[in-house]
Structure 1
Amino acid sequence: MTTATAETAPKNTVVPISPTELAERLDTRQAPLLLDVRTPAEYESLRVPGSHNVPLDLLQKNCERIAGQYEGEVVLICQTGNRAKQAKEHLRSAGLDSARVLEGGVTALESEHKHHTRRGQNRWAMDRQVRMVAGSLVLTGFLGSKLISPKIGYLAGAVGAGLTFSALTDSCAMASALQKMPWNQVDADPSLEKFLAEIPSAVQVKAPRR
């Protein structure tokens, strides 16, 4: 199976951007607008210099305002690409069709072009935290059902049901809860106003609607 590129994709199809293509764009100072949709803590841990942190929940709530004000090429970044795909759909539904997803996320860019990433305080990525908590709850339910009471086994079933619901709805309540934990907090959480003020003047701004 081959991956579609800008040359081979059907007309009007916005294909993902590979780490190598993005690195080349960054080297030539022709970088698109980079939006990192991870949590502030994840962004603080590993980021692409010059990118702007707009967490997925913030983007989702304000996608119409973002899409209605800016046009031109946008690259969406997350840890591995999954949340960036969700962000792309939100922006597309709001009228911004030019957004591209960084294939493999920031981890792939770091692996292939480390000089285009920057490490900060070491923190676990959100998907890793979710796996840790979910696995711990399942293990607790299993051991508790064997050693204490069979009823504790329902805990494992509840976690399984939650993960199934998460997959069906493409959402994650556990991640939302973990995001509010003290270890995932930073000194200054991003706001929409801060993001809009930071957008470089080179980004095309749509003319106000009359």
Structure 2
Amino acid sequence: MSEALTPTSTPLALDIAQARARLADLTVIDVRTPAEYASGHVPGAFNVPLDALRRALPALRQAAARGELLMVCASGNRSANACGTLAEHGISAATLSGGTSAWAAAGHAVERPEGAARRVWGMERQVRFTAGTLVLIGLGLGLVVHPAFQLLSAGVAGGLVYSAVSDTCGMAYVLGKLPHNRPRGTDLDATLAHLRER
């Protein structure tokens, strides 16, 4: 027997086996960027990127009234944040422990949209690469051009500390807006309409 979801500050987490057993009864929402979603997602998942979650609240509220929501991302961090945002608005949702990475590692199939292009890096990897690159640039320019460029490295370090303390990531938000993370053929309005009608 499944436990009914209620809005809480700590989201209910379903492990891979629990989610797979209940997949037909859940409305699965993948909160990764459209490019990450296109690289492979839990079967039947709808793509509502985390940065569009507030816009999607009415459709998600309607979907939650008809059945339980399962939020999914790459590792479970963004989906837990999404559950928190939904709970603030009285919408119950669970998160998938370990995310799509754990789903695929368990040997379960992932879906890819027809004509899905190349695989993109996950957002966490993009953030690590960008932050590391900016730190190296700041240090390099600080040594070669002018010491003031080291402030770039300090700014990135401060941003990473703030990101950890606040459990948010401004860099991920900005990277999510880049064209490689927003491939053609992604239509949030169509997804939201489908969630309202489902």
Give TM-score scaled by structure 1 length.
0.79
* Counterpart mapping for 1:39-188 below 5 A: 39-64=33-58, 66-67=60-61, 70-71=64-65, 72-97=67-92, 99-115=93-109, 117-118=110-111, 120=116, 121-188=118-185
- Tell me how many residue pairs correspond in the alignment: 187
What residue identity is the alignment partner of 1:197?
A: A
By how many angstroms is 1:126 displaced?
1.1
Q: Which fold has the larger relative contact order, with Cα–Cα distance below 8 Å and residues 6 or more apart in sequence?
A: 2
Any gaps of 5 or more consecutive residues in structure 1?
1-5, 204-210
Structure 1's 89 and 124: CA in aligned 2 closer, same or farther, altered over 3 A?
A: same
Q: State the alpha-carbon separation in 2 of the partners of residues 69 and 23 from structure 1.
A: 19
Structure 1's 60 and 169: CA in aligned 2 closer, same or farther, altered over 3 A?
A: farther
Q: State the partner residue of 1:207.
A: none
CA contact (8 A) 1:88 1:101 kept: yes
What residue identity is the alignment partner of 2:90?
A: G
- Between stretches 160-169 and 150-159, larger displacement belongs to 160-169
Map Cα deviations across residues 140-193 of structure 1 (whole Å, 9 max, x no partner).
2222222332221111101011122223333222122212222222113332x4
What residue identity is the alignment partner of 2:84?
A: E
By how many angstroms is 1:64 displaced?
4.8
Q: State the alpha-carbon separation in 1 of the partners of residues 38 and 63 from structure 2.
A: 27
What residue identity is the alignment partner of 2:144?
A: L
Q: State the alpha-carbon separation in 2 of the partners of residues 196 and 146 from structure 1.
A: 50
Q: State the alpha-carbon separation in 2 of the partners of residues 190 and 38 from structure 1.
A: 14
CA contact (8 A) 1:54 1:190 kept: no
What residue identity is the alignment partner of 2:183?
A: V
Q: State the alpha-carbon separation in 2 of the partners of residues 32 and 93 from structure 1.
A: 21
* 1:76 partner SS: strand
Matched, 1:31 2:28: no
CA contact (8 A) 1:142 1:153 kept: yes
Q: State the alpha-carbon separation in 1 of the partners of residues 18 and 196 from structure 2.
A: 21
CA contact (8 A) 1:138 1:156 kept: yes
Q: State the alpha-carbon separation in 2 of the partners of residues 157 and 142 from structure 1.
A: 9
* 2:14 partner SS: coil
* 1:48 partner SS: coil
* 2:25 partner SS: coil
* Counterpart mapping for 1:11-26 below 5 A: 15-26=12-23
Give TM-score scaled by structure 2 length.
0.83
Any gaps of 5 or more consecutive residues in structure 2?
none
Q: State the alpha-carbon separation in 2 of the partners of residues 162 and 67 from structure 1.
A: 33
Q: State the partner residue of 1:198.
A: 194
